[in-house]
Amino acid sequence: MAVLFGPFTQLVTHPEARLRGPLMDEELVVIPEGGILVREGMIQAVGPFAELSRAFPHARAGERGATGPNVVMAGLIDCHTHLIFAGSRARDYAARNAGKTYQEIAAAGGGIKDTLRHTRAASDDELLRLLRQRLDRHLRSGVTTVEVKTGYGLSVAEELRMLRLINRAGERHPAAVVPTCLAAHLVPPEMPDERTWLTTILEEIVPVVTAENLARRFDIFVEQGAFSVPAAREYLLALKERGFDLTVHGDQFSVGGSQLAAEVGARSVDHLEVSGAAEIATLAASRTIATALPGASIGLGCAFTPARKLLDAGAALAIASDWNPGSAPQGDLLAQAAILGTFEKLSTAEVLAGITFRAAAALGLSDRGRLAAGQRADFISFPTQDYREILYHQGSLKPNRVWISGSPII
Ligand code: NIG
Ligand code: FE
């Protein structure tokens, strides 16, 4: 049975916009009094509501929700988060603002290791409760697909526990959850060196991930104090051989990660705050998606990823929240993407692409992120009559309605 949703004051999307390079606002398709025809959770047609109701007279009327103006767009996609953790790093935040650096705090046993202690000590129920709470908050902000990384377990048993919990939360939550194994976040305190830990992951974690189908993607933090380029290269190539999708935390404080990501054909490389001309050129010439994480720039008080330069060079730019207790505690994807847009002079079309179909591509997904026939019927509406208001309010205008697979969730 087909269901026709609408009319919406405006329907805004990029049905055919390209994956790479700059996008002009003229390339956005804005349909006044638009409608969406859904069948079995997928979009069958998008267009003027009146035309769709004439063409599909037997379609059931979908719930339109609140009265008043509303602008509908594709559900947001957050392609980089660390949402499974316990504890708070408010102390680190205050210490950084009082003059200590992220690396100094980490070297003194704070940082990721502090979250590691709290996360390991938390029960399954507690971690599930915290994760669900964060997924709920994201859903209310319009995020319908969420990538969630491990990385605060950092032992074989704890990393597998995190992956199982992420999967369990995903099965029970309306949002689509994409798990990623970031066992290579740091060398665990119990391990002698990086190669020993990476070998342990390959020998003891990867076979269980495969057997239990716990994740299709692996990530690594390439950075001084985390993993070196040569060790990361071997690790990523071994994972590629086993058929996994790759992603890299790269060029956050020092360069190296982005070049490696492009070399091994990673789906994405995320951070890129210190990428220069050479790194930008490499990414533009590669198929790897460049993901900006403005929440980490805001959280650490660092420069933003050179998003404008990346786009102008021809790279594909996704924007994600990096929501985590340390560098990016704020967690509001839409607010962060809007703010990145103001600093980097990104068009509305580029920002919206970065948190929809370009973010989907960073996850290897082509079935979402646009309002178009054949896409998942994940869409959100905002109580306004002008799509430009969505970014203009810099995150303070929240969706008043969220649909997932054609079902109203909020
Ligand atoms: O993406 N850079 C490495 N990992 C996280 C931060 C993790 C943390 O500080 O807890 C990030 O910024
Ligand atoms: Fe991250």
Q: In terms of domains, do 239 and 176 share one? A: yes
Closest ligand by atom to 115 CA = 1
- Distance from the alpha carbon of residue 185 to the mean position of ligand 2, in angstroms: 9
- Distance from the alpha carbon of residue 82 to the mean position of ligand 2, in angstroms: 6
Give the model's pLDDT for residue 67. 77
CATH number for the domain including 133? Answer: 3.20.20.140
Q: In terms of domains, do 325 and 373 share one? A: no
From atom 7 of ligand 1, which residue's Cα is the shortest distance away? 326
The finding on whether 14 has its CB within 6 A of some atom of ligand 1 is no
Ligand 1 site-directed mutation target among 96, 327, 330, most atoms within 8 Å of CB:
327
- Give the position, in ligand 1's atom list, of the atom nearest the Cα of 115: 10
Q: In terms of domains, do 87 and 51 share one? A: no
Give the model's pLDDT for residue 64. 65
Q: In terms of domains, do 88 and 194 share one? A: yes
Q: In terms of domains, do 218 and 93 share one? A: yes
Q: In terms of domains, do 217 and 334 share one? A: yes
Q: What DSSP string describes 14-61?
A: -SS--SSS---GGGSEEEEEEEEEEETTEEEEEEEHHHHHHH-TTPEE
Q: In terms of domains, do 373 and 392 share one? A: yes
Rounded to the nearest 5 degrees, what angle is found at the Cα of 318, between the Cα atoms of 313 and 322? 130
Location of structure tokens 């969505």: 390
CATH number for the domain including 378? Answer: 2.30.40.10
Q: How far is CA 273 from the centre of its chain?
A: 17
Give the model's pLDDT for residue 260. 98
Beta strands in 40-173 (DSSP E): 42-48, 60-61, 71-74, 76-78, 143-149
What range defines the domain where residue 172 resides? Answer: 77-362
From atom 9 of ligand 1, which residue's Cα is the shortest distance away? 326
Q: In terms of domains, do 255 and 124 share one? A: yes
Q: In terms of domains, do 127 and 8 share one? A: no
Give the model's pLDDT for residue 107. 86
Q: In terms of domains, do 17 and 133 share one? A: no
Give the model's pLDDT for residue 65. 61
The finding on whether 119 has its CB within 6 A of some atom of ligand 1 is no
The finding on whether 252 has its CB within 6 A of some atom of ligand 1 is yes
How many residues does the structure list for the chain? Answer: 410
Q: In terms of domains, do 111 and 208 share one? A: yes
Q: In terms of domains, do 94 and 35 share one? A: no
Give the model's pLDDT for residue 108. 85
- Number of domains observed in the structure of the chain: 2
The series of mean pLDDT values per 10 residues for the chain, 410 residues long, is: 95 94 97 98 98 96 81 98 98 94 88 96 98 98 98 98 98 98 97 98 98 98 96 98 98 98 98 98 98 98 98 98 98 98 98 98 98 98 98 98 96
